[in-house]
Amino acid sequence: GAVVSQHPSWVICKSGTSVKIECRSLDFQATTMFWYRQFPKQSLMLMATSNEGSKATYEQGVEKDKFLINHASLTLSTLTVTSAHPEDSSFYICSASGTSGGAYQETQYFGPGTRLLVL
Amino acid sequence: GQNIDQPTEMTATEGAIVQINCTYQTSGFNGLFWYQQHAGEAPTFLSYNVLDGLEEKGRFSSFLSRSKGYSYLLLKELQMKDSASYLCAPQIKAAGNKLTFGGGTRVLVKP
């Protein structure tokens, strides 16, 4: 139980385009989803926290107009990187926590991540 | 703010035991997670400690002392596949249960 999927697993795009990444909880209802970014050999950096049906809470220094987060249902959250630039190239990972299904309450279960390369 | 301290790297031999220490200073502490992250992959959940004491789960055990702001992850009977980074992550209750990650400890298991 407690499986989280992400799509796509990797994406290459041109500078200036927008990229949407989906995060789904497959066997539990995710009341909260988190989005992280990780640069090579660095630690995970939390970008934002989203609760189903409400606006995301962004960490300091993360531009909410550039990284659009939507958490429309208890099983799906999306991150859209708008007008992507080469410096946005990174490993984007979502996690989800919930209280049903095979999930332990309050535990964050991570998706497999999405590698973004902006040319 | 949050401050997490764990060793950067550790090397051990296959079949041995390794203990990864983690000290933290954080406000609104709720519990502490340990995750394993292989290179190029996302973290996977290992353990969660809320109360003081030792939690054992197969070859992995995790210990917490809330008063000392200290935790450790114990890996027994090391296998080559245990070569990975191990992330200590305190959870902050007041901030929607968000986690703070340190740099992690890279464990290299040698034959």
CA distance B91 to chain A (A): 9
Q: Do B48 and A104 touch (CB under 8 A)?
A: yes
Partners of residue A37 on adjacent β-strands: A45, A92
Model confidence over B31-70: pLDDT tens digits? 999 999 999 899 999 999 999 999 998 999 999 999 999 9
Please name the helix (run of DSSP H) or strand (run of DSSP E) that holds residue B28, with its range, or none.
none
CA distance A39 to chain B (A): 10
CA distance A84 to A66: 8
Model confidence over A32-47: pLDDT tens digits? 999 999 998 888 999 9
Q: Do B101 and A97 touch (CB under 8 A)?
A: no
What is the structure's pLDDT at A101? 56
